[in-house]
Amino acid sequence: FAFYLKFSDFLITKGSAMTTFNELLLEGKLCDAIIKVNDVEFNVHRIILCGCSFYFCALFSSGWSDTKKQVYNIPGVSSEIMRLIIEYAYTCSVPVTEDNVECLLVAADQFNVMGIVRACCSFLENKLCVENCIGIYRFADFYCCWELRQRACLFILQHFEEVVRTSEEFLDLDVLQFCDIIEKDNLNIMQENVVFEAILQWIAHTPATRKHHISLLLPKVRLALMDINYFLYNVKNNEIVKDSEECKPIIINTLKAMYDLTLKDAANFQSPLTHPRLPNAILLAIGGWSGSSPTNGIEAYDARADCWVNVTVEEESPRAYHGTAYLNGFIYCIGGFDSMEYFSTVRKFNPVTRTWHQAAPMHSRRCYVSVAVLDGFIYAMGGYDGYVRLNTAERYEPETNQWTVISPMHQQRSDASATSLHGRVYICGGSNGNECLFTAECYSPDTNQWTLIAPMRSRRSGVGVIAYGEHIYAVGGFDGIDRLQNAEIYNPVTDSWHIMSVPMNSPRSNFGIEVMDGLLFVVGGFNGFATIFNVEYYNQKTNKWCEAHDMGIFRSALSCCVVPSLPNITDYTAPRHSPQSPQMELGQSVSKDIFSS
Ligand SMILES: *[C@@H]1O[C@H](CO)[C@@H](O)[C@H](O)[C@H]1NC(C)=O
Ligand SMILES: *[C@@H]1O[C@H](CO)[C@@H](O)[C@H](O)[C@H]1NC(C)=O
């Protein structure tokens, strides 16, 4: 996009001169050279072709004669492509299509027409998808189009699992290109066995010629981070690995590193065997109630390293019982309470610059507010304004920085929770001031109407509600007597709830809830006795709750949101000092250990 912008600026300034030259060309006037490709002749002005390519400059300046029209025979290109190149020299524009882009880029590279190279690269960049990204990557690698190569590489890294599963071109990577991809920290995989299995798949394509590459590829896997049983049965016992002498020390060192990990609490992120990848998204825990006061604390969860990083901006004031939403690069903090004031204010955080900004305030003060994002709007619903529990709702449009009141809900809902799924906003539970609610309702922006859906099995205030897969999950909360440990799941197709078969490890209300990497996270909250900092996640595939690392700050009434693909994600992750040369380090420590014993 940026390129097209510059490109059209250029056309505006150069436009009139270009038009004149092009007219001369079309009329065949003042031409001083003939380019001959196969049997097709093109009358051209040397000076114009010189303007777009060093190749033609060099060609024309050797054997220059201004008396007669010279004929230049150009081999290795089709007349159709040469026509496009000449047209480009005169008009500064070129029609790139799926059919011609490959030949055009090759020819533009050969004739050094950088304008066309850039146009082709930007065309290919916009066409990147799982099916073609490897092909484009290899193509860009071959023609030294570094920017395109980098974009394609980034695309492969982000969609690695899908690429390995579905792209036939993946098997055509050469060993160095394959290494270049799997050694990257920002390879987006949740488990290292994905990389190991990709290696096996790649080798199996032509085992005879690829088997020996195992010793080069295996050290790119962060082996010591694998599940021990997986490592023993699938890696150590693998025939190709067993057959390779060079792999033996790698296996031994991995076992040692795994043993060390069980002894130490903190992992060694520097070692190539235990160096975690970078996450593709981060989970932020923002504000809340900690001890006897609200906090301004922000912590970022680094899922690959399983740790929380303190990214608090000290100047920002504390806020609890608020809602958060991520939209178009900003994290919005909406409403809430600081122990003095019930907020109508909205603050937005830019995670790249790590600065806070004011956004337009809501129409109502809303503490214990429920927030959801749908189709580019932020919805803020219910809450408490200091006097009454609200049934009102409003929505925010970032482009105009405006809140608009929408239809009120059927019930007053304070301390409820909301999410969106398939074009609707869902809000469940909460309290009306007298009792905790088991009712739930959904909003359709098309009709601007709220509809009561089937009620939950339990009353839930301070509940966490989130869309996960095709369902709505209502997790934990307070039923008027106890903090709940269970969750229930709503199926919008059948309009029915069922209790989740496995409860959380800890009961909790007023916690943060989000889905990241296909896992449902619950963060902090109140367990009935104390404010907690523990975090757990549910995996739909295994139907299990597992503990994640505790936050640094114990808190309830916090709010969580997920921030995808940050440019400077390392500002939000545990420090990993990239090892200079993993293989070298590995090789050195290996030889020392093996040969000294
Ligand atoms: C987090 O960082 C902030 C700002 O640097 C600091 O004031 C606060 O004490 C830190 N919190 C924790 C729990 O380390
Ligand atoms: C994050 O990256 C942006 C753009 O790459 C840069 O301007 C900014 O300074 C970085 N922020 C920090 C805190 O390093």
Q: Which residues pair with 334 in a beta bridge?
A: 323, 346
Amino acid at 254: T
Residue 416 has pLDDT above 90, yes or no: yes
Question: Are 228 and 314 part of one and the same domain?
Answer: no
Domain boundary among the residues 89, 111, 127 is at: 127
What pLDDT is stored for residue 587 in this prediction? 32
Question: Are 341 and 215 part of one and the same domain?
Answer: no
Distance from Cα 355 to the centre of ligand 2, integer Å: 11
DSSP 6-55: HHHHHHHHHHHHHHHHHHHHHHTTT--EEEEETTEEEEE-HHHHHHH-HH
CB-CB neighbours of 303 under 10 Å:
23
* Separation CA 165–CA 177 (nearest Å): 18
Local confidence band at 51 (pLDDT 50, 70, 90 cut-offs): confident
**Mean pLDDT score, 356-362:** 97
Backbone angles phi, psi at 3, to 5 degrees: -65, -45
Share of the chain above pLDDT 90, in %: 77
Residue with more model confidence, 359 or 54: 359
- In sequence order, which residues have a C-beta less than 8 Å from that of residue 498 and are 6 or more positions away? 488, 489, 491
**Mean pLDDT score, 49-55:** 87
The count of structural domains within the chain is 3
Question: Are 31 and 62 part of one and the same domain?
Answer: yes
What pLDDT is stored for residue 19 in this prediction? 67
* Separation CA 451–CA 197 (nearest Å): 48
**Mean pLDDT score, 117-136:** 93
**Mean pLDDT score, 496-521:** 97
pLDDT tens digits, 376-407:
999 999 999 999 999 999 999 999 999 999 99
What pLDDT is stored for residue 578 in this prediction? 54
**Mean pLDDT score, 298-317:** 94
Local confidence band at 20 (pLDDT 50, 70, 90 cut-offs): low
* CATH code for the domain in which residue 292 is found: 2.120.10.80
Cβ of 571 closer than 6 Å to ligand 2, yes or no, is yes
What pLDDT is stored for residue 581 in this prediction? 40
Local confidence band at 24 (pLDDT 50, 70, 90 cut-offs): low
Question: Are 428 and 500 part of one and the same domain?
Answer: yes
pLDDT tens digits, 64-119:
565 567 888 888 899 999 999 999 998 888 999 999 999 999 999 999 999 999 99
Q: Which two tokens stand for residue 437?
A: 């609610």
Distance from Cα 310 to the centre of ligand 1, integer Å: 6
> CB within 6 Å of ligand 1 — which residues?
297, 310, 312, 314, 552-553
Question: How many residues in the chain?
Answer: 597
* Separation CA 399–CA 175 (nearest Å): 47
Choosing from 356, 568, 571 the residue with most ligand 2 atoms within 8 A of its CB, the one to mutate for a pocket test is 568
Choosing from 299, 309, 311, 312 the residue with most ligand 1 atoms within 8 A of its CB, the one to mutate for a pocket test is 312
Domain boundary among the residues 110, 127, 144 is at: 127
Question: Are 286 and 395 part of one and the same domain?
Answer: yes
* Domain annotation covers residue 176: no
* Separation CA 226–CA 242 (nearest Å): 18
Given a contact cutoff of 8 angstroms between Cβ atoms, the answer to whether 427 and 409 are in contact is yes
* Domain annotation covers residue 193: yes
Question: Are 293 and 375 part of one and the same domain?
Answer: yes
Given a contact cutoff of 8 angstroms between Cβ atoms, the answer to whether 491 and 442 are in contact is no
Residue 595 has pLDDT above 70, yes or no: no
Q: Which of 493, 496, 489, 498 is nearest to 540 (CA)?
A: 489
**Mean pLDDT score, 510-539:** 97
What pLDDT is stored for residue 482 in this prediction? 97
